[in-house]
Amino acid sequence: MDIEKRILELREILERLSYEYYVLDHPSATDQEYDRYMQELTKLEEENPQYMDENSPTQRVGGAVLEGFTKVTHKRMMLSLGNAFHLDDLRAFDERVRAVTADPQYVVELKLDGLAMSLHYHDGRFVQAVTRGDGLVGEDVTSNVKTIKSIPMAIDLMGDVEVRGEVYMPKASFQKLNEQRKEKGEEEFANPRNAAAGSIRQLDSSIAASRGLDAFWYYFMDAQSFGYQTHWEAMAAMDDLHIRTNPNRRLCHTIEEAWEFIQEITAKRNELPYEIDGMVLKLNDLSAQEQVGYTAKTPKWAIAYKFPAEEVETRLLDIVLTV
Ligand code: NAD
């Protein structure tokens, strides 16, 4: 096989799938298919560094900035997350972290399947909401995000405060929306994530308001400057500010503990009223996070464990049953 040709082919496929997913909100591949192409490309590039390209999809945060919205440059890049698919990947992540910092603790959280958003407050007042966009520059979607009722318009904290999290469409809202679309003969959304992204990118905010969106927040920017030393404390501080965080989180001292929590959540995943596509492990100590550092695309102090595809398993089961 011509390696260079395959690398170029994979980059082209991934660019196309990203465009369909992030810009059109209309994916033609499953997330697992996309992840498999990405894994193959990552491996080929690692093994053949002469073909490395800084514009490769492995090096860039996926996403785009749509016309029609004011563009906003993020104070600090909004990154993606490295992926893990097996317990061994998590162990390897832990080893990389331990090479930099001793006795790490991890906060294990749900990986919400929505779209990343940044919220800005100034002297206690909500001022702006910005999408991740391409990671460097996002779209100002303040008027749409304001329609999400759980987001406080005032917080009890002075200064410039930025929190980041995920806007999502609850399963019930998604079902209702698709039923309505079907009745009207309109094309249905592929999944709640694409429906949420499509709703947030409406120029008419009354449409976003009618879509039943909600949000969870999982990152307190510059938490140390507000006196917090760990991510766990920063999450509790957001709770105190009435900034909605997801209660399903656990402070784990080992990867085995983290894995146990992952299994617990996997078992009750279908009962959750919103979609999750994995779990995220984050190094708890904020100074240690900075020591461990970042790649151009992801923090090295966190990792996303992705669930295996349920649909694929069901399809396989169907095949077995019909044979
Ligand atoms: P990602 O979804 O793998 O992980 C990063 C994102 O996770 C963050 O930006 C944030 O939005 C989100 N997140 C959710 N819960 C979080 C938490 N508790 N803490 C921190 N972050 C949290 O990476 P990505 O760059 O957003 O997207 C890549 C993924 O998108 C692919 O792996 C694939 O699943 C999907 N995708 C699919 C297609 C397709 O064709 N089906 C195309 C492009 C991308």
Which two structure tokens, joined as six digits, stand for 53?
A: 């390209």
- Looking at ligand 1, which atom is closest to the CA of residue 32? 34
Q: Is pLDDT at 318 greater than 80 in this prediction?
A: no
Q: Which member of 5, 111, 268, 297 is catalytic?
A: 111
- What was the ipTM of the complex prediction? 0.97
Residue holding tokens 């440059």? 73
Is the Cβ–Cβ distance between 237 and 223 less than 8 Å? yes
Alpha-carbon distance of 86 to 318, in angstroms, equals 25
| Integer Cα distance of 164 and 129 in angstroms | 9
pTM, full prediction: 0.93
Query: What pLDDT sits at residue 65?
Result: 86
Question: Ligand 1 centroid vs 230 CA: distance in angstroms?
Answer: 24
Q: Is 176 a catalytic residue?
A: no
Adjacency order of strands within the sheet including 160-168? 125-131, 115-122, 160-168, 214-220
User: At residue 33, does pLDDT exceed 80?
Assistant: yes
Q: What is the residue with the minimal CA distance to atom 17 of ligand 1?
A: 111
| Å from CA of 80 to ligand 1 middle | 7
Distance 249 CA to ligand 1 centre (A): 19
- CA separation for the pair 6, 21 (Å, rounded): 22
Pocket of ligand 1 (CB under 6 A): 17-18, 20-21, 27, 29-31, 34-35, 61-62, 80-81, 83, 109, 111-112, 116, 132, 166, 218, 280, 304
Average pLDDT over the chain, rounded to whole? 94
- Tens of pLDDT, residue by residue over 252-288, are 999 999 999 999 999 999 999 999 999 999 999 999 9
Predicted confidence (pLDDT) per residue in 137-162, tens digit:
999 999 999 999 999 999 999 999 99
Q: Which of 18, 81, 249 to mutate to test the pocket of ligand 1 (most atoms within 8 A of CB)?
A: 81
